[in-house]
Amino acid sequence: MSTPKVPAFVCVYGPSGIGKSTDTGYAFPNAIFLAAPGALKSVSALCGYTPTQMPVQTIDDATAAIRQVREAGGGGFDGVVVDDFSFLAEQTMSAYDKRYSGFKLFGAMRESAIRFRNEARYASLTVALSCWLKPPRVRDDGTRIRGGPDLTGKLPEQLPAMCDLVLRGAWDAQRKPWGGIYKVSGGSDYVGKDRDHGTPSPAPMNLGEILRHNGYTISRLAILPWQEGAVETIATALLAGDPKDDRKLLEEGYAALAAQGHDPRHVRWTIRDAWDRAALRRASALRHGTFFGPSNNVFGL
């Protein structure tokens, strides 16, 4: 029996409104979310559950919250999601600006972020943070700086350094109905990282399925005991057929689940995960030189 992986420390970043908050809602239904009031409306509307939320105003508040959850043995949660870390950084800078100036201000900010990073790294539960995107830029001396999480100073490089996974959100208009994607490889232009070396680039914007694909244990919403089995059944059917038939198979899967009376939001969530799971496995098969073939598999939902 394989040993479960140590919970992941993850950072996703991208333009505002691209879907990061909703994706973390899908990925971590049993986590506690550290977020500003109203920041998680999309999760309730699209995912069909209300996440447990703790309001925080600064990075130091988030660090204390993670420590509190850790010392409580998880407190019934299996993860902590910080949404949005860039906003917290702004709030923290504003608070420190009343006490420090010049290099001391940036030094205090750096120490705050490092304390958070260390607490998150050793929290013994999944920690995921989302950030706005800071594009690549060129300093006055001509030095090129990679794009990354929107943070001050050297933090766009230093904070991701201890993460297991650093993904940049983008949009693929050709990928319908879910056009969000994540990119791992940013080359010399953007920060990116995957310690497990299992995430294709681009990958579907589906952090839960990416982590499952890489061998992490990611729990499902307790009121949906049927969901994981349905995701695997549909993904297996997709892999057994031709990708050109995906839409037809997904429609059949949706109809089969809807006929059982499930909440349409939960059905859509399930279909999304199944399609993305199949996409990740197809990418892995191409990488490793294995192939899936057609069959006459049918849904047994």
Cβ distance 5 to 215 under 8 Å?
yes
Choose the most confident range, by mean pLDDT, from 12-21, 34-43, 223-232: 223-232
Query: What is the CB-side half-sphere exposure of residue 291 using CA atoms within 13 A?
Result: 5
- Residue percentage of the chain with pLDDT more than 70: 94
Closest-CA residue to 194 (of 163, 218, 169, 217): 163
- Asked whether residue 301 carries a pLDDT value surpassing 70, the answer given is no
Predicted local distance difference test score (pLDDT) of residue 1: 45
Identify the DSSP state of 161: G
For residue 108, count CB atoms less than 10 angstroms from its CB and return exposed for 0-12, middle for 13-18, buried for 19 or more: middle
Predicted local distance difference test score (pLDDT) of residue 296: 40
Predicted local distance difference test score (pLDDT) of residue 290: 60
* Rounded Cα gap, residues 185 and 301, in angstroms: 37
7-11, 48-52, 297-301: segment of lowest average pLDDT = 297-301
* Rounded Cα gap, residues 254 and 287, in angstroms: 30
Predicted local distance difference test score (pLDDT) of residue 153: 79
- Asked whether residue 154 carries a pLDDT value surpassing 90, the answer given is no
Query: Looking at residues 56-72, what average pLDDT do you find?
Result: 93
116-128 tens-digit pLDDT: 989 998 888 999 9
Give me the helices (H) in 122-245, please: 155-158, 207-213, 227-240
Query: Looking at residues 261-277, what average pLDDT do you find?
Result: 98
- Residue percentage of the chain with pLDDT more than 90: 69
Query: Looking at residues 254-269, what average pLDDT do you find?
Result: 97
Identify the DSSP state of 77: -
Query: Looking at residues 50-54, what average pLDDT do you find?
Result: 93
- Asked whether residue 297 carries a pLDDT value surpassing 80, the answer given is no
